[in-house]
Amino acid sequence: IRLAFLKGLDWRGLSDAGAILAQSSSSTDRGLANAISEAINGISVEDRFTAMCRLLLKQDGTARNPDRLVTKKVNDPHPQIREILVDLQEPCAQALAHIKALAVRDATVALVAVGLAVIERYTAFKQDASAYDYADLIERTNELLTDSGQAAWVLYKLDKGLDHILIDEAQDTSPEQWDIITALTDEFFSGEGARDQQ
């Protein structure tokens, strides 16, 4: 991406612009000249691309204000310099955004790989220890009350054994726990054991 962007640049025009900017009495213009020089003479593609980004973009990757790219003292006699730089801002911003997106993708792939490895190790640890965690208990209870062939028997044994169900904050937003609550409360209002009060 960096190389494709750099290959499309008018290096002759940039070099001429840099020479003019370097003669300016303004430190802003001379700073632009230095950035152009780094873009032209940088050792690596990454260094050259970074110099162009510093020249054309703000730190957040958006285009610098075109009116502030070069000073009025340089722009008045040499308007082509500003035009060259403005034309490069959008392609540079797009290239940088693409690079950042790929970096996020690569970091996400690495994070998922680490996460899957952790889950695999954690699952193996639970199996070796014959242990359940909180999520396992919710899943097994749901199976027992809804999917299992023993659900009817379990609910029958619970009938008349429950008068109230206390719901805390965790259960407020957990669909799996609401399934458990629904299975339990359905028994409040079914069959001969149905309550008269709601």
Counting Cβ atoms within 10 Å, is residue 52 exposed (0-12), middle (13-18) or buried (19+)?
A: buried
Joined tokens for residue 6: 């750099």
Q: What is the mean pLDDT of residues 161-175?
A: 74
Q: Please tell me the pTM assigned to this model.
A: 0.67
- Give the whole-angstrom CA distance, residue 121 versus residue 113: 12
pLDDT tens-digit map of 86-116: 999 999 999 999 999 999 999 999 999 999 9
pLDDT tens-digit map of 39-73: 999 999 999 999 999 999 999 999 999 988 899 99
What lies within 8 Å, CB to CB, of 25 at 6+ separation is 73
